[in-house]
Structure 1
Amino acid sequence: MTTNIINKFPGGDNDHHAEAFIDVLDDYGIRTGESMSRNKIHELGKIHRAVHLYLFDKSNHLLLQRRSYALDHYPGVLSISLTGHIDAGESSSEALYRELKEELNFNSNHMKIEFLFSFRQDVVISPRNIDRQFNDVYACWHDFSIQDVMFNPNEVCEVTLVPFSVFQSMVYDPTSDLSHVYKRACADVA
């Protein structure tokens, strides 16, 4: 694995997450007209929407990130290239482009990003942190190197590129550092 812990971009701001309002969804993924703070939506276990991006380089290596230890969702564990909540009134693709800039400082203008599928996932992280969400899953194959990734240290503490086959092995290995939430999506991304 190739890691990069040097290319941090300055001025990272994690306040967006604490302040962000998120649309509440019904069981079918339709907005109810209600929105709540990120913290409240998780505390009450309300259904909402998030984006997931699998970002591959030209050699079909997947970019993984180690989440900041300061985060309330899966601190310090390996995660896919990018995850993020969709803000109230924001579209899925708008959230994806915003998260690309916030987490990895990528300009998405020249990236060909494909929507793959959406699925519902409910996870109880703790009694006061219940994640019930529809995940909109995207993939992108882009010509970049690990040195091009400039991550926000408030959200990410390390990045690495791994062959997709290694990622698949990590998904099914209960001792790996990878978050356990990717099993359902892994087969459909391949």
Structure 2
Amino acid sequence: MEHVILVDDAGTPVGTADKSAVHGRDTPLHLAFSCYVFDSRGQFLCTRRASGKRTWPGIWTNSCCGHPQPGETMEGAMLRRLADELGLTPSRWGMVLPDFRYRAVMDNGIVEYEICPVFAAFVDTDPVPDPAEVGDHAWIDWRGFRALVDTGALDISPWCRLQLDGLAHLPAQPRDWPLSEPPARWREPLAPPAAVPTASGGA
């Protein structure tokens, strides 16, 4: 069973919840991450969420998202999900938007509400996606991707759209982005199971 780590507004863990039950009309604030993957040519790996996903199924988005598990570091969660979802092991990586958070509501009322630091990762191989997680994928020039989004030609997830606003302040070429270590609060194992009570989550 996969969990999410519930947090207060400052990002301090206050409990855990079953991931399959937590996303509803009153989703509590919880921890997540996003990752943008690039290859040696500087191409961006854009992925489409599998049609069976509870939130924003079938929508194009950044390369990989996920939730750290109790006792896991944020960086460890990112590397685990890259391997599980895409079969990728990056050659270098780092955090680019450590303070990103958002709240978004689907047309059916389901809410996503996350503190979601953003990583960039660079790989030397093509992905082998898990079809339960990824419905499609494409390598695309980063500037071209931004243009498709800006002109409305490509509909993307709400978190990806908001993250692009922050990433716009970085150098134009992703290979030149400053990759930093996660802040101290994300370098320690998050919410050790023995120290954090279990919460039931949303509907």
Same fold (TM over 0.5): yes
> Which is further off, 112-121 or 125-134?
125-134
In structure 2, the residue matched to 1:185 is: 163
For the pair 1:150 / 2:131, whether they are aligned, the reply is no
- Cα deviation for residue 66 of structure 1 reads 1.4
Task: Give the corresponding residue for 1:116.
Answer: 96
Q: 1:14 maps to what in 2?
A: none
CA distance in 2, matches of 1:52, 1:112: 16
Aligned match for 1:48, one of 7, 13, 30 = 30
Residue 128 (structure 1) shift: 5.6
CA distance in 2, matches of 1:164, 1:69: 25
Residue 67 (structure 1) aligned with residue 49 (structure 2): yes
SS in 1 for 2:5: strand
Q: Is the 8 A contact 1:119 1:136 kept in 2?
A: yes
Whether the aligned pair in 1 keeps the contact of 2:101 and 2:117 (CA below 8 Å) is: no
Alignment check: 8 A CA contact 1:172 1:183 kept: no
In the TM superposition, what is the alpha-carbon distance from 1:175 to its structure 2 partner?
Answer: 4.5
Q: Per-residue deviation at 1:126?
A: 5.2
Q: Is the 8 A contact 1:52 1:84 kept in 2?
A: yes
Alpha-carbon distance in 2 for matches of 1:141, 1:170: 22
Distance 1:21 1:128, change over 3 A: farther
Q: Which position in structure 2 is the counterpart of 1:13?
A: none
Show the 5 A alignment for 1:1-190.
Answer: 19-32=1-14, 34-43=15-24, 44-108=26-90, 111-117=91-97, 118-125=99-106, 129-144=110-125, 148-189=126-167, 190=170
CA distance in 1, matches of 2:124, 2:108: 42
Aligned pair count?
Answer: 166
Task: Give, in whole Å, the separation in 1 of the partners of 2:158 and 2:145.
Answer: 12
Q: Which amino acid aligns with 1:123?
A: A
Determine if contact 1:24/1:41 at 8 Å carries over to the other structure.
no
Cα distance in 2, alignment partners of residues 90 and 150 from structure 1: 24
Amino acid in structure 2 at the alignment position of 1:185: Q
Paired residues of 2:40 and 2:124 also in contact (CA < 8 A): yes
What is the identity percentage for the equivalent residue pairs of Structure 1 and Structure 2? 23
SS of corresponding position for 1:22 = strand
Cα offsets for 1:87-119 (capped at 9, x unmatched): 2332211110110111001134xx211111231
Could you tell me which runs of 5 or more consecutive residues in structure 1 were left unpaired when the two chains were aligned.
Answer: 1-18
Distance (Å, rounded) in 2 between the aligned partners of 1:41 and 1:98? 21
How many angstroms apart in 1 are the aligned matches of 2:107 and 2:101?
Answer: 19
